[in-house]
Structure formats: C-alpha cells, structure tokens
Copies of this chain bind each other. A is one copy, B any other.
Amino acid sequence: MTRWPIPAPMMEALDLARKAADSGEVPVGAVVVLRGEIIAGGFNLTRTDCDPTAHAEIVALREAARKLGSERLGECDLFVTLEPCAMCAGAISHARIARLYYGAADPKGGAVEHGARVFDQVQCLHRPDVYSGIGEGEAAKLLRDFFSDRR
C-alpha cells in the first residue's frame, strides 16, 4: 500500500507505462529529471521500433543525453516504474545517474536487488543512490492487467 503521495515524476512514468500498454508494449515507463524538471521520458518500444534495447530506461536516457549534449548525466535522476534489468542497470551506471527511483521489484528480470545485482559488483564504476517501492502498487497493477489480458 502506498502511504505517501507518489512523486510527480513517478506519476509521469506511470502515465508513460499506460501509453506503452495502449501500444501493445509491456507497460514500463521512465523519466529523467534534472533539478526538479522532467527533461526526457520514454516507454517500452521494443516491438514498435524493432529494437531489443528500447526499454523505457534506455529510451529516456538516450533522449536526455542527446538534449544535454553529454553521455554523462551526473546531475540527473531516473524514475522508472519497474526494477531495471541488467541492460538498463548497466546503462544507468554508464550514464552516471545520481539517484534511481523505481516502482515494482522484478524478481523475474530485475538486476538491482535480484540476479546480477549490477550496482553491487566491483566492476560497477558508478552506483546511483537507489530508492525502491515508489508507486509500486500502481506499477505492478499495470503489468498484471497487461499480462492477464493476454492470457
């Protein structure tokens, strides 16, 4: 149960996740925030774009980096509705994201608190501060509804 209001960037990420579902994509959304302002956002586009790397986080990180003209986003935070996978956790580290906020944990595919635990490896050159469970009820419900509709 969410005890605190969901922060505005996570609300926006949840809206993006809904857009993903409307497009037949797995409902995950992400936004990049710089000094309190959303500068980029994305949702899963793997099927639409024929791009295995087009997870919400990657779409948002690429847009933010392009906008800022830098591969490093050290002053930015990332909000994403689901625990990032190994690919996305690696990208978050490469981008030097300061703080990572995510919604639902993903025991099946996550790589932050599960499995590869990318940020906990000695090879990980940059570890963001990590806050989980932000809007997790809503994020998990979107995923449940999406997959139950398809069964």
Seen from chain A, the residues whose Cβ lies within 8 Å of a Cβ on chain B are 46-47, 49-54, 58, 61-62, 65-66, 68-73, 85-91, 93-96, 107-111, 114-118, 121-125
Cross-interface CB contact of A122 among B54, B95, B115, cutoff 8 Å: B115
* B residues less than 8 Å from A125 (CB atoms): 109
Compute how far the CA of A69 lies from the CA of B51 in the bound complex, rounded to whole angstroms: 9
Report A22 CB to chain B, min CB distance, Å.
19
Judging by beta carbons under 8 Å apart, are A70 and B50 in contact?
yes
- 16 new A-B pairs (CB below 8 Å) besides A52-B61, A86-B86, A89-B90? A46-B71, A50-B71, A53-B53, A85-B90, A86-B93, A86-B116, A87-B87, A87-B88, A87-B89, A108-B123, A109-B123, A111-B118, A111-B123, A115-B123, A116-B118, A116-B123
Contacting residue for A123 out of B61, B93, B110, CB 8 A: B110
Give bound CA distance, A96 to B85, whole Å. Answer: 15
Binding site of A, secondary structure by majority: helix, strand, loop or mixed?
Answer: loop
Q: Is the CB of A114 within 8 A of B123?
A: yes
What is the CA–CA distance of A72 and B86 in the complex, to the nearest angstrom? 18
